[in-house]
Amino acid sequence: MNADVNMDALDLIREGKIKRFFRATRKLNAPDLVYHITQRAAGKEPLFLEDNDYLYMIGILKEIFQNHSLRMYAFCLMPNHVHLLFSPQEDNLYDAMRDLFSMYAMRFNRKYERKGHLFGGPYRQAVCLDDSYLLAASLYIHLNPVKAGLALTPRGYRWSSSGLYCKNDAPKSFIDPDFILHILSEDQIEGRKRYRLLLKQGGELAAAHVLEQEDAIERFSSKLASIFPSIFRRLNNKKQVIKSSDLGLLGMEELERKIKDMKGDRNFNTPESRKAGKYLIEQLIARGYKRAEIAERLCLSRKTVYNILKSA
């Protein structure tokens, strides 16, 4: 292979070395990528107890995203978790998420005279690396209330951005639905029409519990692709425009060399060999490979892959 350590994300995607999304083992802070952030409440605690709580979160979302130069594409505030889909214009993702969640937690604790952590640990982060996954992620976010039984349709749920995608006369907002609607059509009205159709079909998939499975967004995207093959075929063939970023990935030439070396020495009897194996497996996970695929590629059993990941 002709790849090197500095091969950019676009080249990796074209060669199929990164799949449609990237789950980082460490938080990324690179600008110009599209991030899907999920943050949950600690335990079974609620994040929102009344309408004013939702309104306050939306208010500080607007403030934080404007102050930190973030482009917001979609959101959904669920009773015990939050979905955000956005792209930072600067390398300030850490600061923005820290400010957002700490401001809300401080106000919530003060209002309800409670102590302790409101959120259940660090936020989860995935990076959308192609249009089909980005589209599926936005639909998945807007279908969350339907999946949870909080609304019959996405538009029937007040605390999300779905209305901005569906209404032809949607008001101006700090949310930018056009970024995703243009994936479907350059014409805004046609884009909204197609998005509504996808949401309707997605609602039927939600009723069939597709959204509750492991790798839900990937499975959801695949199901939609089978129902709307012409749309998703066009998206998969569309040229991707993703800027070079430090994703913390090995170059493919080095990765292939390490895989070859591992196949030649699979004893993992020393701390050094286990550490090297774990690092390599994490590199493959970061590219979207499932553990079964990793085991097959490395000629290991699934149990061995699991044990290596559990090792120090």
> Going by DSSP bridges, is the β-strand pair 124-128/70-77 parallel, antiparallel, or unpaired?
unpaired
pLDDT of residue 174: 92
To which residue do tokens 């339907």 refer? 146
First to last CA, the chain: 32
A 10 A CB-CB count for 119 gives 19
Which ranges of the chain have pLDDT less than 50? 1-20, 25, 207-214, 239-246
Q: 60, 104 in Cβ contact below 8 A?
A: yes
Q: 235, 224 in Cβ contact below 8 A?
A: no
Q: What are the residues whose beta carbons fall under 8 Å from the beta carbon of 101, sequence distance 6 or more?
A: 39, 119, 123
* 46-56 confidence digits (pLDDT tens): 999 999 999 99
pLDDT of residue 27: 67
pLDDT of residue 225: 61
Q: What is the pTM of this model?
A: 0.67
Out of 3.50.50.60, 3.40.720.10, 3.40.50.800, 3.30.70.1290, the CATH code matching 19-237 is: 3.30.70.1290
Q: 283, 249 in Cβ contact below 8 A?
A: yes
* 17-65 confidence digits (pLDDT tens): 444 455 554 567 777 788 899 999 998 899 999 999 999 999 999 999 9
A 10 A CB-CB count for 49 gives 12
Going by the DSSP 8-state scheme, the letter that residue 215 receives in this structure is T
Question: What region, left, alpha or beta, does residue 31 occupy, with left being phi > 0 and alpha being psi -120 to 50 degrees?
Answer: beta
pLDDT of residue 274: 83
Q: Report how far residue 104's alpha carbon sits from residue 121's, in angstroms, rounded to the nearest whole number.
A: 15
pLDDT averaged over the chain? Answer: 78
pLDDT of residue 121: 86
pLDDT of residue 180: 92
User: What are the boundaries of each domain within the chain?
Assistant: 19-237, 252-310
Polymer length in residues for the chain: 312
- Provide DSSP, 130-147: SHHHHHHHHHHHHHHHHH
